[in-house]
Amino acid sequence: MLQKLRTVIYHTNDLAAAKNWYTSLTGKEPYFDEVFYVGFDINGFELGLDPDMSKTQTGNHSTAYWAVDDMQAAVEKAVSLGATIIDPAHNVGGAIEVAIVEDPFGNHIGFITGA
């Protein structure tokens, strides 16, 4: 039934600021850039920014984890760009380490390494 993660959409009330923030975080320019949606291709996966806040509510009930090579570097870069650490990097078994940060727009971003 479920095959793989394809798209993660982050909602924002400031699309221009979010576009700049995610461009800085990922080092990639958006491939799709309109007033209603900004899309980034992250190694074949979609990271989308949606300015429509009409169906969003406070709270983060799910977190998508992006694979990273260097956990410390990923967390430090996100924090240097204004993210807040929600769940510091920690081992969850074997070589797998995870962390969660919150972007300046209230979205939680998971990082995972060793999986």
The predicted structure's pLDDT at residue 31 = 96
The predicted structure's pLDDT at residue 110 = 93
pTM: 0.84
Helix, strand, coil: what percent of the chain each, to 5?
20, 40, 40
- With b for 16 or more beta-carbon neighbours within 10 A and e for fewer, the 34-52 pattern comes to eeeebbbeeeeeebbbbbe
For 73, the 3-state DSSP assignment is helix
Residues of the chain with pLDDT under 50: none
The predicted structure's pLDDT at residue 4 = 74
